[in-house]
Structure 1
Amino acid sequence: MHNLLEQIQNRLAELNKAERKVAEAILRDPQQATRFSIAALAQAAQVSEPTVNRFCRSFGVNGYPELKMQLAQSLASGAAYVSRAVEADDGPADYIRKIFGSTIASLDSACQSLDPQLISSAVDLMIQARQIHFFGLGASASVALDAQHKFFRFNLAVSAHSDVLMQRMLASVARTGDLFVIISYTGRTRELVEVARLARQNGASVLGLTAAGSPLARTCTISLDIPLPEDTDIYMPMTSRIIQLTVLDVLATGMTLRRGVDFQPHLRRIKESLNATRYPSDAEPG
């Protein structure tokens, strides 16, 4: 379940004008809001006290004291930073704190929202795959490439592609046993949805790392829901990319554990093959 601060942030656009003022006053400084009396919050939001009470009821909270208690619980979980956007006049100390804070909070939110059973089913798909193709466009392309580096270690045929034409050609010759992992922050990119549909029509499985309820999520065999903590219509994706990478780490760990101890020597040989490419830790390059 999302905590109160996340609910307020997510429902901001659907609130009426007066209640939105209350929401914005809380999101500006959640810590301060926990210390406000109902009169002080009403004054900060420039609304009446009955409006604050209506705001509480619209979030299923029985009065302002309970609202403050739930705000305090949200702060304890770290989710306050989700709503703290970088402002034009922020200095380095401000935007460093906000970026790290929002990333930590968003990772925590993603962790809570992931369904362990879905993760297990996704690992099943990967274990059973004849070959795996990782697809991503834009900022997700680098995530797909990172996945290729991770998953080739499992002795599978693995590739990563960020070219739409190549993605479409691969989907057109897909067959049972192929797995397409499609990474998309919004899940609304037409080309990726069409590629997923084409791959499934040809018998392949499709695993999505994307937004819940999106066109891509509805097309996939399995979709692992990635929260939407940032507005990528304005800013470049940052937090979302970290969540995608972490979910891929979770899947890689699941595969490692599923393969068991007999697979450990294979992974060790790959790791040891890199030793000759590195200076010893106590050596200084000439």
Structure 2
Amino acid sequence: MSYTSGGLAMLKSVENTLPTSEQKIAKYILSSPEPVITMTVKELAEQSETSSAAVIRLCKSLDLKGFQELKMRIAGDVQKPSSSEYRDIDKGESIHHIIEQMTHNGVQIIKETEEMLRREDVEQAVQDIHEANSIHLFGIGASGLVAADGQQKFLRAGRYAFYLQDPHMSYTTLSNARENDVAVVVSFSGETKEAVQFIRLAKKNGMKTISITKYGSTTISQLADIALYTSSTQEAMIRSAATSSRLAQLHVIDTLFMSYVSNHYDEVIQSLDRSRAAIDQHKN
């Protein structure tokens, strides 16, 4: 996309967790986004019956640089064609409709996750990974599958990467990590007890920390040195949430990995070739 967007998705993601005054502003913007594009802070405060200070606080709650960035993102949203909401699968659906709906949900969450990822944060994360002696990844449940995928990718790229399914073994391995190691914590909610313990232990050891969570202020994203966000998804949460959230998390891991490969192509491509040759030889 040639324009910055994602403002409306960000507001929807955190609307129900905001303080009352900020929530009033969010509701006003979501109901009438177009006029906001040309408003000043004072005008938005008057229209939403709040205060200029509340507008500024909302921008901080969204982890944006200021009101101007929020307006730019909303302007980008207004330019985009509208799309239907996420929808869960019901009993007796046709295979044709399931394929269509799951494809739509997948495309939607990846597009929204693209809007949540700050380019400078991805760049810094890639640099920290390159400078690290080893990479320690952690996740529970579906997030654990994403952490395992990250491990195998960076192992093939010639890096020391650790992911252990047992949290206690992960803590044990992390307790021997050093300051020049990096921890990558994957948790959709950003509040998973084991993941919070993992990132706190990593910080206690002086490690650089990277989180991959849904958009919004969570314990894990607040603790992380670099917080990478996925869309929080608007789909029904009863059955298929892990499907879309996992896809979004994998997209972030792929983005980190491909950015790492691109930035350090000459050294990484040799490791990838060696790992491929080792696998091919084993097949034979």
Structure 1 and Structure 2 fold alike (TM over 0.5): yes
Q: Residues 94 and 12 from structure 1, CA distance in 2 versus in 1: closer, same or farther, beyond 3 angstroms?
A: farther
Decide whether the 8 Å contact of 1:171 with 1:196 is kept in 2. Answer: no
> Take 1:259 and 1:8, find their aligned partners in 2: how far apart are those partners?
36
> Take 1:57 and 1:183, find their aligned partners in 2: how far apart are those partners?
29
Structure 2 counterparts to residues 1-286 of structure 1, below 5 A: 1-2=5-6, 6=9, 10=13, 58-61=31-34, 74-75=80-81, 80-88=83-91, 90-211=93-214, 212-230=216-234, 233-236=237-240, 237-277=242-282
Decide whether the 8 Å contact of 1:122 with 1:207 is kept in 2. Answer: yes
Match of 1:24 in 2: none
> Take 2:253 and 2:14, find their aligned partners in 1: how far apart are those partners?
29
Equivalent position amino acid for 2:277 in 1: E
Deviation, 1:115, is 0.8
Decide whether the 8 Å contact of 2:139 with 2:186 is kept in 1. Answer: yes
Deviation, 1:197, is 1.1
Structure 2 residue matching 1:228: 3-state secondary structure = coil
> Take 2:267 and 2:101, find their aligned partners in 1: how far apart are those partners?
44
> Take 2:141 and 2:220, find their aligned partners in 1: how far apart are those partners?
16
Q: Residues 141 and 11 from structure 1, CA distance in 2 versus in 1: closer, same or farther, beyond 3 angstroms?
A: closer
Which structure has the higher relative contact order (CA within 8 Å, separation 6+)?
2
Q: Residues 226 and 208 from structure 1, CA distance in 2 versus in 1: closer, same or farther, beyond 3 angstroms?
A: same
Structure 1 residue matching 2:177: 3-state secondary structure = coil
Deviation, 1:246, is 1.6
Deviates more, 1:179-188 or 1:258-267: 258-267
Deviates more, 1:111-120 or 1:160-169: 160-169
Structure 2 residue matching 1:161: 3-state secondary structure = coil
The TM-score normalised by the length of structure 2 is 0.70
Q: Residues 217 and 278 from structure 1, CA distance in 2 versus in 1: closer, same or farther, beyond 3 angstroms?
A: same
CA deviation profile, 1:102-154 (whole Å, cap 9, x unmatched)? 11011111112211110000001100111111111011111111111100123
Structure 2 residue matching 1:175: 3-state secondary structure = coil
Deviation, 1:10, is 4.8
Q: Residues 55 and 156 from structure 1, CA distance in 2 versus in 1: closer, same or farther, beyond 3 angstroms?
A: closer
Match of 2:66 in 1: none
Larger radius of gyration: 1
Q: Residues 169 and 257 from structure 1, CA distance in 2 versus in 1: closer, same or farther, beyond 3 angstroms?
A: same
Q: Residues 232 and 270 from structure 1, CA distance in 2 versus in 1: closer, same or farther, beyond 3 angstroms?
A: farther
Equivalent position amino acid for 1:86 in 2: I
> Take 2:125 and 2:178, find their aligned partners in 1: how far apart are those partners?
18
Gaps of 5+ in 2: 18-26, 36-75
Q: Residues 85 and 71 from structure 1, CA distance in 2 versus in 1: closer, same or farther, beyond 3 angstroms?
A: farther
Decide whether the 8 Å contact of 1:130 with 1:178 is kept in 2. Answer: yes
Equivalent position amino acid for 1:225 in 2: Y
Aligned residues: 231
Decide whether the 8 Å contact of 1:139 with 1:241 is kept in 2. Answer: yes
CA deviation profile, 1:30-70 (whole Å, cap 9, x unmatched)? xxxxxxxxxxxxxxxxxxxxxxxx989843345xxxxxxx9
Deviates more, 1:148-157 or 1:259-268: 259-268
Structure 1 residue matching 2:156: 3-state secondary structure = helix
Q: Residues 251 and 7 from structure 1, CA distance in 2 versus in 1: closer, same or farther, beyond 3 angstroms?
A: closer
> Take 1:71 and 1:201, find their aligned partners in 2: how far apart are those partners?
40
